[in-house]
Amino acid sequence: MNEIARQPKLLKDYAPPPYLIEEVELDFKLAPRAARVASKLRIRPNPKVATGGRPLVLDGEGLALESVALDGKALTPSDYELKEGSLTIPRAPAHPFTLELVTYCDPETNTALSGLYLSRGTYCTQCEPEGFRRITFFLDRPDVLAVYTVRIEAEREVAPILLSNGNPVAHGDIPGTGRHFAVWHDPFPKPSYLFALVGGRLAKVPDRFVTVSGREVDLAIYVEPGKEDRCSWAMESLKRAMRWDEERFGREYDLDVFNIVAVSDFNMGAMENKGLNIFNDKLVLARPDTASDADYASIEGVIAHEYFHNWSGDRVTCRDWFQLCLKEGLTVFRDQEFTGDTRSAPVERIAAVRMLKTHQFPEDAGPLAHAVRPASYIEINNFYTATVYEKGAEVCRMLQTLLGREGFRKGLDLYFERHDGEAVTVEDFVEAMADVSGRDLSQFMLWYTQSGTPELACSLDYDPHAKTARLSVSQVVPPTPGQTKKEPMLIPLKMGLIGANGDELPLKLDGKGVVNDGLLEITGREQVFEFRDIPSPPTPSLLRGFSAPVRLTVSLDPEQIEFLMRHDKDAFNRWQAAQTYATNLLTAASREGGDLSRVTGKEALRLAQALGQTAGDSSLEAAYRAEFLKLPSESDIARELARNVDTDAVRAARESLRRTIAGEIGSSLAELYEAIAPQGPYSPDPESTGVRALRGAALDLLVATGKPSALARAERHYREATNMTDAISALAILSHLDAPARDEALAHFYARWQDEPLVLDKWFAVQARAARSDSVETVRALLSHPKFSLKNPNRVRALIGSFVHGNPTGFNRADGAGFELLAEQAYEIDRFNPHVAARLLGAFESWRILEPVRQGRAKAVLEALARRQLSTDSYEIVTKTLGPS
To ligand PHE, the closest distance from the beta carbon of 381 in angstroms equals 7
Give φ, ψ of 265 to 5 degrees: -115, 110
CA angle 591, 592, 596 (to 5 degrees): 110
User: Catalytic pick from 61, 306, 363, 640?
Assistant: 306
Task: Considering only the stretches 74-82, 303-311, 613-621, 713-721, report the one whose residues sit in contact with ligand PHE under the rule CB under 6 A.
Answer: 303-311
To ligand PHE, the closest distance from the beta carbon of 388 in angstroms equals 10
Give φ, ψ of 231 to 5 degrees: -110, -10
- State the Cα–Cα distance between residues 169 and 177, nearest whole angstrom: 22
Task: Considering only the stretches 174-182, 302-310, 455-463, 599-607, report the one whose residues sit in contact with ligand PHE under the rule CB under 6 A.
Answer: 302-310
> Does residue 268 touch ligand PHE according to CB under 6 A?
yes
To ligand PHE, the closest distance from the beta carbon of 431 in angstroms equals 24
Judge contact between 811 and 843, C-beta under 8 A: yes
Q: Which is nearer to Zn ion, 363 or 627 (CB)?
A: 363
Count Cβ neighbours within 10 Å for each residue of 689-712 and write b for 16 or more, e otherwise.
Answer: bbbbbbbbbbbbbbbbbeeeebbe
Residues in contact with ligand PHE, counted by CB under 6 A, come to a total of 12
Secondary structure of residue 565 in the 3-state scheme: helix
Judge contact between 576 and 659, C-beta under 8 A: no
- State the Cα–Cα distance between residues 406 and 582, nearest whole angstrom: 38
> Does residue 311 touch ligand PHE according to CB under 6 A?
no
For the range 8-11, what are the long-range contacts, defined as Cβ-Cβ under 8 Å and sequence gap of 24 or more? 8/376, 8/377, 8/378, 9/376, 9/377, 9/378, 9/380, 10/375, 10/376, 11/320, 11/322, 11/373, 11/374, 11/375, 11/376
To ligand PHE, the closest distance from the beta carbon of 575 in angstroms equals 28
> Does residue 130 touch ligand PHE according to CB under 6 A?
no
Q: Which is nearer to ligand PHE, 128 or 726 (CB)?
A: 128
What is the phi-psi region of residue 501: left when phi exceeds 0, alpha when psi lies from -120 to 50, beta otherwise? alpha
Amino acid at 120: R
Partner whose binding site includes residue 825, from ligand PHE, Zn ion, none (CB under 5 to 8 Å by kind): none
Q: Which is nearer to Zn ion, 328 or 390 (CB)?
A: 328
Q: List the interface residues with ligand PHE, window 355-414 (CB under 6 A).
A: 384
Give the residue, chosen from 106, 130, 153, 328, that forms a contact with ligand PHE under the rule CB under 6 A: 328
Secondary structure of residue 396 in the 3-state scheme: helix
Partner whose binding site includes residue 318, from ligand PHE, Zn ion, none (CB under 5 to 8 Å by kind): none
To Zn ion, the closest distance from the beta carbon of 389 in angstroms equals 7
Partner whose binding site includes residue 276, from ligand PHE, Zn ion, none (CB under 5 to 8 Å by kind): none
23 is catalytic: no
Amino acid at 550: V
Label residue 159 exposed, middle or buried (CB < 10 Å: 0-12, 13-18, 19+).
buried
Judge contact between 120 and 224, C-beta under 8 A: yes
Residues in contact with Zn ion, counted by CB under 5 A, come to a total of 2
Give the residue, chosen from 59, 61, 272, 348, that forms a contact with ligand PHE under the rule CB under 6 A: 272
Give the residues across from 23 on adjacent strands: 42, 147
Amino acid at 530: E
To ligand PHE, the closest distance from the beta carbon of 332 in angstroms equals 8
Q: List the interface residues with ligand PHE, window 601-660 (CB under 6 A).
A: none
To ligand PHE, the closest distance from the beta carbon of 193 in angstroms equals 8
> Does residue 128 touch ligand PHE according to CB under 6 A?
yes
> Does residue 306 touch ligand PHE according to CB under 6 A?
yes
Closest residue by beta carbon to ligand PHE: 268
Q: Which is nearer to ligand PHE, 383 or 749 (CB)?
A: 383
CA angle 104, 109, 115 (to 5 degrees): 60
To ligand PHE, the closest distance from the beta carbon of 721 in angstroms equals 32
Please state the separation of Cα 188 from the chain's center in Å. 27
Q: Running DSSP on this structure, what letter comes out for residue 351? A: H
Binding mask 311-350 for Zn ion (x = CB under 5 A): -----------------x--x-------------------
Partner whose binding site includes residue 128, from Zn ion, ligand PHE, none (CB under 5 to 8 Å by kind): ligand PHE
Task: Considering only the stretches 269-277, 364-372, 434-442, 633-641, report the one whose residues sit in contact with ligand PHE under the rule CB under 6 A.
Answer: 269-277
Contacting residues toward ligand PHE, per CB under 6 A: 126, 128, 267-268, 270-272, 305-306, 309, 328, 384
Contacting residues toward Zn ion, per CB under 5 A: 328, 331
Residues recognised as catalytic: 306
